[in-house]
Structure 1
């Protein structure tokens, strides 16, 4: 791959995740402070990610893979996304905001697959070439958080009181417009499937991989993956509002520690996976969710602020040791025949169904601990996902039978 193409793909990844990290992390705080949304309404807004994940395979499988170049679809989706982001920037009422965020996530979630397709199409050895490109996405997410907290100070108490957090949507609208236009300059990525070739709904959703559920171990893993997304939803939905409400300085910037941790533990994962095996790796990931939420429950923004920072830093173990190792396990169990279908099915089950349930539960529990002054009893809220993650940990430890899985880096 030449230097020009490397730059193009790296810049594409940077903007793709700068856009996501630039508004999604602070969404709960924005909705609560600017739009006075309750926990149920905030859950509805976050659930649009799940609806986007459910609908994305249809956009990719029935349209993108058959009729249009991937880079052109990417450009169109981000240009429309820029318009919707600008509309969100202008809204002052949740009932107006919700249709825009729903439309946006239905359009954005397919772009996650499109940027991968565009990248892989330019690579002779994706196993070696993809990671150095993809890491710019994580850098983009981190830069977005740092800009919000340390450059513009939009999540400071004074800015929150003045309603300045809405500017994140304007920032992202500009970034989305830039990526939309830039996408048309990307290397051409033609459709992968002949448009005359029949594609069934089963193909699109990866339902052929349901045959893998006959394997008891894979069934246990599949159910555990869906269940662990319930405590995961608590983090996405509540972490930033929680840190902001209890008075932690620069909460959005500090949350980028989680993305830095993700990069670090991604590098450590092959060694841990090889030495301790799949089951222990997954269990460590599950246990990390419990430990993280207990730190959130009993930490504070004063002398115990280090507990909050450690809880954020555990994101690398929480995510990589469960979800990434789970993708490896799925790839190994599926084999060549069902490889793509199995990954699609797991994504649909976790980011679609699992987190849809998780966001709803998180919203209900958060509302139940809302105080008259508008604050929350966060200690009691965080105990719920901690306990749930611990329960999934126990069930997986008891039921899943250890098996040797070879890791191919």
Structure 2
């Protein structure tokens, strides 16, 4: 089989595992009385991302080929996710936070490092085939987002988005991927001890970049913007589903199929990737980042103003805006880091960018978002909480707006189109 096709399948499965629960788990947690802990569940992804990818990266560099470690990690993650599903099934509505959270956390601890491991396998395979990774990897990676979307739709159509069944779906896809990973091209290991140290693998060498004012400001704002990354993943589905308590909206498509509606965000994401080269060359990193920041303002504000009935167009527009908010920040930020750092620490600098955004930023964001939602929304009330949810979304929008305004004045960068 053509190596590109094999890597397309790998990326499809890699993100299909994640898509099975990432946008719908919040609704399940609401249904089993764990609404106050949604942010804690999502924050665990950021917490384990601070150290697990580095640890497994060193193991893959020195002792266990990446494709085998990828398989082991997915088998292990699938096992704990299946146990979480079984616990949810056997406990019904009497789910205890400690047990479910522990099983989920162990699964996530082994899944999150596979995001990096799958990239390593892909880069190695493309290099072996004599193919340019910069040219050939992005089109392959897009199929990861397609896998994520397909998984979301499957969970929605099968009626699993509000119950424990999504954990079983995730585990099943993970098992299939675990088997498939063993068939991927072999990756070399460096048994001579010349692999990266833990300090290097975690990107800690790149902390010297904080000595440069420009880079220090960039990384700080990367963390502040990273706060927004997981908020809608955790709370969009519970919010849209909550309209079901109002007869006017109970039978609308959005309430019945919140996951499919939310998947428009991922569809937009795949399309907006194509806009980045043009916008970067035309406007430069500062204005591209500002566009992303104001897109987050619209993302949250439109969520607060919309509804699944006559206002569903605002939900749809919010989903479309997400592609700009996510891609213009993550991909453009990564390209900026690559261009502005010395070759000797570029890998570490990319690691630092991930730590600041998906590690510190996303963790702080989900925990902070939970505090905001808990402040406004009474999950124990029988009365609809739509207005209370709206206060939460407008709070998130106000936060994104403040970050954007301060960034506009604090980040000084002269755009030079000839460098792109």
* TM-score, L = length of structure 2: 0.90
Within a 5 Å distance, the mapping from 1:108-127 to structure 2 comes to 108-123=111-126, 124-127=131-134
Task: For residues 200-220 of structure 1, give each alpha carbon's deviation from its aligned partner in whole angstroms, at most 9, with x where no partner exists.
Answer: 332121111112122222111
Within a 5 Å distance, the mapping from 1:226-237 to structure 2 comes to 226-237=223-234
**Judging changes above 3 Å, is the alpha-carbon distance between structure 1 residues 374 and 113 closer, same or farther for their aligned structure 2 residues?**
farther
Report deviation, 1:355.
1.2
Q: What is the distance in 1 between the residues matched to 2:332 and 2:5?
A: 29
Aligned residue for 1:306? Answer: 313
Task: For residues 129-151 of structure 1, give each alpha carbon's deviation from its aligned partner in whole angstroms, at most 9, with x where no partner exists.
Answer: 112211111110010111122x3
Q: What is the distance in 1 between the residues matched to 2:56 and 2:416?
A: 31
Aligned residue for 2:13? Answer: 15
Task: For residues 192-244 of structure 1, give each alpha carbon's deviation from its aligned partner in whole angstroms, at most 9, with x where no partner exists.
Answer: x4442374332121111112122222111111111112233322221111111
Q: What is the distance in 2 between the residues matched to 1:303 and 1:324?
A: 34
Report deviation, 1:406.
5.6
Aligned residue for 2:236? Answer: 239
Aligned partners of 1:88 and 1:101 also within 8 Å: yes
Give the 3-state SS of the residue equivalent to 1:403 in structure 2. Answer: coil
**Judging changes above 3 Å, is the alpha-carbon distance between structure 1 residues 132 and 317 closer, same or farther for their aligned structure 2 residues?**
same
Report deviation, 1:353.
1.0
Aligned partners of 2:65 and 2:187 also within 8 Å: yes
Within a 5 Å distance, the mapping from 1:180-329 to structure 2 comes to 180-191=178-189, 193-197=190-194, 199-247=196-244, 248-249=254-255, 250-329=257-336
Aligned-CA RMSD value: 1.7
Aligned partners of 1:237 and 1:362 also within 8 Å: no
Q: What is the distance in 1 between the residues matched to 2:63 and 2:178?
A: 19
Report deviation, 1:90.
1.4
Indicate whether 1:396 and 2:393 are aligned: no
Report deviation, 1:186.
0.8
List structure 1 runs of 4+ shifted beyond 6 angstroms. none
Structure 1: gaps (5+ residues): none
**Judging changes above 3 Å, is the alpha-carbon distance between structure 1 residues 89 and 368 closer, same or farther for their aligned structure 2 residues?**
same
Aligned partners of 1:299 and 1:305 also within 8 Å: yes
Aligned partners of 1:48 and 1:102 also within 8 Å: yes
Structure 2: gaps (5+ residues): 245-253
Aligned partners of 1:64 and 1:73 also within 8 Å: yes
Q: What is the distance in 1 between the residues matched to 2:26 and 2:368?
A: 15
Aligned residue for 1:72? Answer: 68
Task: For residues 304-349 of structure 1, give each alpha carbon's deviation from its aligned partner in whole angstroms, at most 9, with x where no partner exists.
Answer: 1110111111111001111111001111111311110000011111
Q: What is the distance in 1 between the residues matched to 2:322 and 2:146?
A: 15
Indicate whether 1:154 and 2:160 are aligned: yes
Give the 3-state SS of the residue equivalent to 1:178 in structure 2. Answer: helix
Q: What is the distance in 1 between the residues matched to 2:352 and 2:278?
A: 27
Q: What is the distance in 2 between the residues matched to 1:237 and 1:293?
A: 13
**Judging changes above 3 Å, is the alpha-carbon distance between structure 1 residues 189 and 375 closer, same or farther for their aligned structure 2 residues?**
farther
Give the 3-state SS of the residue equivalent to 1:231 in structure 2. Answer: coil
* TM-score, L = length of structure 1: 0.92
**Judging changes above 3 Å, is the alpha-carbon distance between structure 1 residues 195 and 245 closer, same or farther for their aligned structure 2 residues?**
farther
**Judging changes above 3 Å, is the alpha-carbon distance between structure 1 residues 204 and 380 closer, same or farther for their aligned structure 2 residues?**
same
Aligned residue for 1:60? Answer: 56
Q: What is the distance in 2 between the residues matched to 1:55 and 1:382?
A: 31
Aligned partners of 2:204 and 2:352 also within 8 Å: yes
Q: What is the distance in 1 between the residues matched to 2:353 and 2:192?
A: 26
Report deviation, 1:407.
8.7
Q: What is the distance in 1 between the residues matched to 2:240 and 2:138?
A: 31
Aligned partners of 1:43 and 1:359 also within 8 Å: yes
Report deviation, 1:59.
2.2
Q: What is the distance in 1 between the residues matched to 2:116 and 2:27?
A: 28
The count of corresponding residues between Structure 1 and Structure 2 is 395
**Judging changes above 3 Å, is the alpha-carbon distance between structure 1 residues 19 and 81 closer, same or farther for their aligned structure 2 residues?**
same
Q: What is the distance in 1 between the residues matched to 2:5 and 2:174?
A: 18
